[in-house]
């Protein structure tokens, strides 16, 4: 027995014929589907889907179209009904985006909706190279900063580019202020709207690489959810009677009454700090202790009636008022006092020891004096005895070596013949 293989479009055609047959048997009519479904890019990340109306539709049918978006074969539950033959949607580009539409007769129980007609936009580039973890913050309604990380399959030298567009811009813009910190990419661009506006358009952001191998990614951001106010500045504290008045400067970029503030106060122990929420740029703290020191800091948050953001500003620099010394001073004092006392004691002991030697010189020991005296005499005597014996021995040696010269004169004798004198030398040893 052979099995007949049927192509997917063949199965769809058979299913349509089966529905038509069932509808005919049941007395209902299935509408023909729209035709020529197509899309065009009208801006970055924005598609315009268009289609033609079905043929052979009764004039009594109030024709409408039901459409839906499917991402990676998962319906997004953003179905819409419209009499128009087009629909503008966002696209993600890093996943397969499909759009499907069908025709219906509203308020007509004698007909069934047509089958779905679907068209797809496949992704481009290598999987895993698209930017991930895209996050944007709208700082003080002045500029937006977006950060992202490279895809896991992207090379280390991949360069990403960011483009943005919103309703009101004639053409999309390219961000030029890039930065890279510890593998995280970032870019900031100016973004502002008129203060009188009550609604803000969605912002389309496209991040793609410098080559076609890098898969692009699109995201649509609601700016009201990304608002982060600037840190309050110029905090001033003053005492008025038994109260402390806290004031700070307001941001001039926010509409009036679109910011709320949080004031934190403590007296040195952060565990006992308390916070106060106010709508104005000032507040007062009553019933203060005049002997305590109070520390204040302030931060701002968007008012929920103006923005949907949950982002708060950074805390302001802490300001203090009061006479109580903080724990840091006490700690320094505890360390410094013993150190000064120890150094002073050492210096005083050294000074007193020298002073004692000057005022009360040490008394010599008589035994040492006598010992030195007799010891010196004995040494002199022994030295003298040794010198005397040596001198005697030398003297004897010298006497032996001395040659005595004796001159003897012989008297004249009667003999006149002997006229010469005789000299006799005698040497005695």
Summarize pLDDT for 33-67 with one digit per residue, the tens: 999 999 999 999 999 999 999 988 877 888 899 99
Task: Copy the structure tokens of residue 148.
Answer: 């992202």
pLDDT given for residue 386 in this prediction: 55
Taking only the tens place, the pLDDT of each residue in 67-92 is: 999 998 888 878 888 999 999 998 88
Domain 15-121 = CATH 3.10.350.10: no
Higher pLDDT, 422 or 165: 165
Q: How far apart are CA 330 and CA 320, in angstroms?
A: 17
What CA dihedral angle connects 128, 131, 135 and 139, to 10 degrees? 180
Higher pLDDT, 178 or 11: 178
CATH-assigned architecture of domain 132-227: Sandwich (2.60)
Instruction: List the chain domain ranges.
Output: 15-121, 132-227, 230-324, 332-377
| Strands of 107-216, DSSP E | 111-112, 117-121, 132-139, 143-149, 160-166, 173-174, 177-181, 184-190, 203-209
Q: How far apart are CA 32 and CA 10, in angstroms?
A: 17
CA atoms within 13 A on the CB side of 181: 6
Q: Kindly report the pTM of this predicted structure.
A: 0.65
The reply to whether domains 15-121 and 132-227 share a CATH topology is yes
Q: How far apart are CA 136 and CA 153, in angstroms?
A: 23
- Which residues have C-beta within 8 Å of that of residue 291, sequence separation ≥ 6? 322, 323, 324
pLDDT given for residue 358 in this prediction: 66
SS3 327: helix
Contacts for 23-31: CB closer than 8 Å, 24+ residues apart = 23/112, 27/110, 28/110, 28/111, 28/112, 29/110, 29/111, 29/112, 30/111, 30/112, 30/113, 30/114, 30/115, 31/57, 31/61, 31/103, 31/104, 31/105, 31/111, 31/112, 31/113, 31/114
- Fold (topology level) of 230-324: Immunoglobulin-like (2.60.40)
Higher pLDDT, 18 or 153: 153
Taking only the tens place, the pLDDT of each residue in 157-185 is: 899 999 999 988 889 999 999 999 998 99
Whether the predicted pLDDT of 210 surpasses 90 = no
Cross-strand partners of 424: none
pLDDT given for residue 268 in this prediction: 76
């Amino acid at each position: 027995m052979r099995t007949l293989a049927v192509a997917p479009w063949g199965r769809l055609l058979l299913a349509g014929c089966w529905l038509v047959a069932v509808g005919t048997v049941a007395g209902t009519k299935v509408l023909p589907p729209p035709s020529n479904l197509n899309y065009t890019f009208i801006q970055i990340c924005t598609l315009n889907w268009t289609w033609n109306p079905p043929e052979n539709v009764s004039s009594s049918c109030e024709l409408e179209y039901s459409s839906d978006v499917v991402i990676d074969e998962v319906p997004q539950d953003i179905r819409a009904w419209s009499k128009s033959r087009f629909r503008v949607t966002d696209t993600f580009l890093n996943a397969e985006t499909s759009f499907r539409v069908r025709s219906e007769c509203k308020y007509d129980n004698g007909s069934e909706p047509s089958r779905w007609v679907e068209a797809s936009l496949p992704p481009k580039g290598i999987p895993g190279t698209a930017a991930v973890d895209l996050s944007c913050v709208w700082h003080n309604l002045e500029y937006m900063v977006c950060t992202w990380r490279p895809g896991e399959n992207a090379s280390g030298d991949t360069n990403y580019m960011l483009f943005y567009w919103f309703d009101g811009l004639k053409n999309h813009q390219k961000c030029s202020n890039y930065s890279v910190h510890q593998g995280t990419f970032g870019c900031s661009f100016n973004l502002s709207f008129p203060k009188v506006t009550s609604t803000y358009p969605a912002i389309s952001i496209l991040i793609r690489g410098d080559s076609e191998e890098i898969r692009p990614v699109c995201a649509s951001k609601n700016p009201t959810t990304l608002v982060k106010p600037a840190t309050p500045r110029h905090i001033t504290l003053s005492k008025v009677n038994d109260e402390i008045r806290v004031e700070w400067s307001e941001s001039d970029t926010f509409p009036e009454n679109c910011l709320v503030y949080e004031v934190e106060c403590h007296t040195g122990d952060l565990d006992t700090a308390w916070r106060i929420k106010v709508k104005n740029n000032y507040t007062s703290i009553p019933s203060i202790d005049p002997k305590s020191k109070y520390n204040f800091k302030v931060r701002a948050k968007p008012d929920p009636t103006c923005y949907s953001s949950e982002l708060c500003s950074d805390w302001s620099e802490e300001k203090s008022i009061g006479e109580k010394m903080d724990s840091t001073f006490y700690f320094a004092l505890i360390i410094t006092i013993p150190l000064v006392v120890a150094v002073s004691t050492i210096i005083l002991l050294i000074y007193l020891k020298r002073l004692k030697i000057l005022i009360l010189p040490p008394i010599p020991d008589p035994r040492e004096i006598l010992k030195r005296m007799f010891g010196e005499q004995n040494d002199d005597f022994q030295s003298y005895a040794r010198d005397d014996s040596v001198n005697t021995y030398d003297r004897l040696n010298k006497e032996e070596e001395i040659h005595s010269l004796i001159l003897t004169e012989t008297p004249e004798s009667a003999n006149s013949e002997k006229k010469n004198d005789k000299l006799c030398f005698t040497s005695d040893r």
